Amino acid sequence: MTKTLLASVAILALGTISAFAAEKEFPAKLVSHAVLPANTIIPAPSDAPQHLKTSAKFTTPDRKRAEGLGTVPGKDGVRTTGLSMPFDGQAMQGFSGIKTMSDGTFWSLSDNGFGSKANSSDSMLMLHHLKLDWDVGKVNALETVFLSDPDKRAPFPIVMEGSDKRYLTGADFDVESIQPTEDGFWVGEEFGPYILKFTRDGRLTDVIATKAGDVDVKSPDHPTLSLPANPTQKLPAFNLKRSGGFEGMAMSRDGTRIYGLLEGPLYNAEGQVEKTEDGATGLRIIELDVASKSWTGRTWLYPLADGGEAIGDFNMLDDATALLIERDNGAGTSDKACADAKKPEADCFAVPAKLKRIYKIEFNDANVGKAARKIGYIDLMKIADPDKKALQGSENGIYTMPFVTIENVDRVDATHIIVGNDNNLPFSAGRALDKADDNEFVVLEVKDLLDAK
């Protein structure tokens, strides 16, 4: 694997277009704003096992079951977020991927639950059909599809293995990106990572393991990996960090190809990450043939900007260009930064947000095996709000999105895009120091970005 991955790095570097030369910042204007309150809890399906009627029971520091509802305070570092677990029902939160539909509605999905495989065995996986009422700033769920595996397609035991319906949970898969189709949904996943296919009613039909060229991609949460029995033995091999899988997943305009975008870089056996010719850390875009449900072998590298640490969402604009979110791991605004990030306090942000961007990129036949071209970006920390459309988060005519994870972007029309955050309920507080982040969706006017070549 080492030789193969090193060779692929060399190939990707040859003839690479500069990662930074063509970058240009474009303006963005806030047009509409809608908010789903953080504490939005919905009931589990009537046929769900009792275990799933409540959620977040295993979010205690030692993973012991919390015996009473609301007994475990949510925290963002040392700061409390004002919400406590477990919840009486399922949390409708963590929107992590969005797709605009022709009727003006959207499909989105909730991610694995509470941040890890270990604490999310009672968090149900679900997709949401959303209608946003921009006039009153409200998010309405037209339908919620709970995901299940009644046909035993998962290649490992799931949490609800012995149940009749076999609902899927956040300890089975970490679903992060979505592409609706006429017959169901394609979903990008992080534990494997895998590409998953579901029917329209949420039944799992396909689990596709990831291959980047000749390299089998595995995270430390891959079900085939296990700790050695003896401490002197080698640890199992994996080449992707935890939570580094398919955070983004785009589909070609004709529906014949899926492009999975890893959130983190691939590592070789020496612990080196993939780089572009310019020395930027590169994240793999991997092409899947929809008809055969197999990887084509074609890949590209997305070059992270200086200060960028991960991507959020990914959707095609046409056959060669796409929108995606790039971000750092900061949250909150710099005016409330802690004096010492290593000694955070409850009244300040330890690491404020700096890099939160929407990029337009180009990748095509001409740059297969090379770096995608970054055409330009908008800065989500300085969105113009001259018409005072913001429901929260705007000051002196500027709306900001200082969230650690912003994981929803798609085009709405020729001049507008939709953007939304993943609020990591109840652990993220970037809008305020002591309040869990809401799920915020905004429509932005970005004609110059969308027209850029």
CA 405 to chain CA centroid, Å, is 8
Distance (Å, whole) CA 58 – CA 363: 42
The one-letter amino acid at 12: L
pLDDT for residue 18: 43
- Read off the pLDDT of residues 278-295 as tens digits, 9 standing for 90 and up: 899 999 999 999 999 999
The whole model's pTM is what?
Answer: 0.93
Give the C-alpha distances (Å, rounded to integers) separating 189 from 133, 247, 301, 397. 29, 7, 19, 38
Residue 270 has which token pair?
């020496």
Q: Are 403 and 419 in contact (CB under 8 A)?
A: no
Cis before 86? omega within 30: yes
Q: What angle do CA 355, 95, 220 make, to 5 degrees?
A: 75
- Read off the pLDDT of residues 379-389 as tens digits, 9 standing for 90 and up: 999 999 999 99
pLDDT for residue 10: 43
Distance (Å, whole) CA 170 – CA 258: 23
Q: Which residues pair with 130 in a beta bridge?
A: 106, 141
Q: Are 131 and 108 in contact (CB under 8 A)?
A: no
Distance (Å, whole) CA 253 – CA 272: 35
Q: Which portions of the chain are predicted below pLDDT 70?
A: 1-22
pLDDT for residue 426: 95
Using CA atoms of 436, 73, 145, 48 in order, give the dihedral in degrees to the nearest 10.
-170
pLDDT for residue 14: 41
Distance (Å, whole) CA 354 – CA 337: 12
Q: Are 418 and 408 in contact (CB under 8 A)?
A: yes
Rg (CA), the chain: 21
Nearest Cα neighbor of 200 from 152, 143, 256 is 143
Q: What are the strands, taking DSSP E only, across 174-330?
A: 175-181, 184-189, 194-199, 204-209, 211-212, 215-216, 246-251, 257-262, 282-289, 294-303, 310-316, 321-327
pLDDT for residue 45: 98
CB atoms inside a 10 Å sphere around CB 314: 27
